[in-house]
């Protein structure tokens, strides 16, 4: 799998997982995703499971620490960090995706409520939400 395909696959898996959480819970608490270099073996990390009362910042920090630990200890081809982002009355799902050679940060605005929530067209954000962690 080339780098572009790996980036696209990681983005797709992260977007679908985030959309599932958005429809189920009404927002996307920070979580991380890793794929191996072949684009297989997706693994998610939801820090809320271990830190049920944690604030958003603590969940982000835990997700970043987990992703860094995965990078340091394993054969990781791509990572993603996914979370709800808010600005005034607008909300969106932010997805930062990285491979070893590239990175991308998109924000998907969302509308609706409950199971009818949907994502709008992604907006490319300047820079990254955090990092880079994996990209060199």
In a domain, 106, yes or no: yes
In a domain, 96, yes or no: yes
Confidence of residue 1 (pLDDT cuts 50, 70, 90): confident
Confidence of residue 86 (pLDDT cuts 50, 70, 90): confident
Beta bridge partners of 93: 84, 108
- Do residues 103 and 95 lie in contact, with contact meaning Cβ atoms separated by under 8 Å? no
The model's pTM: 0.92
In a domain, 133, yes or no: no
In a domain, 37, yes or no: yes
Residue 132, preceding peptide bond in cis (omega within 30° of 0): yes
Per residue in 113-134, pLDDT (tens digit) is 777 888 899 999 888 888 888 8
**Whether pLDDT at 82 is above 90:** yes
In the chain, the number of structural domains is 1
- Do residues 121 and 51 lie in contact, with contact meaning Cβ atoms separated by under 8 Å? no
Q: Where are the beta strands (DSSP E) in 13-127?
A: 31-35, 43-45, 78-87, 90-99, 103-111, 118-119, 123-124
Q: What is the pLDDT, as a whole number, of residue 87? A: 82
């Amino acid at each position: 799998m080339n780098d572009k395909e790996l980036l696209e696959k990681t983005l797709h898996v992260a977007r679908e997982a985030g959309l599932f959480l958005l429809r189920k819970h009404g927002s996307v608490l920070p979580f991380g995703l890793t794929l191996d270099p072949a684009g297989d073996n997706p693994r998610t990390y939801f820090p809320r499971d271990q830190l049920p009362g944690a604030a958003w910042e603590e969940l982000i920090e835990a997700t970043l620490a987990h992703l860094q630990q995965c990078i340091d200890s394993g054969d990781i081809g791509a990572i993603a960090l996914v979370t709800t982002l808010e600005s005034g009355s607008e909300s969106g799902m932010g997805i930062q995706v990285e491979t070893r050679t590239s990175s991308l940060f998109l924000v998907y605005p969302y509308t609706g409520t409950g199971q009818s929530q949907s994502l709008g067209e992604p907006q490319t954000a300047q820079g990254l939400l955090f990092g880079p962690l994996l990209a060199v």
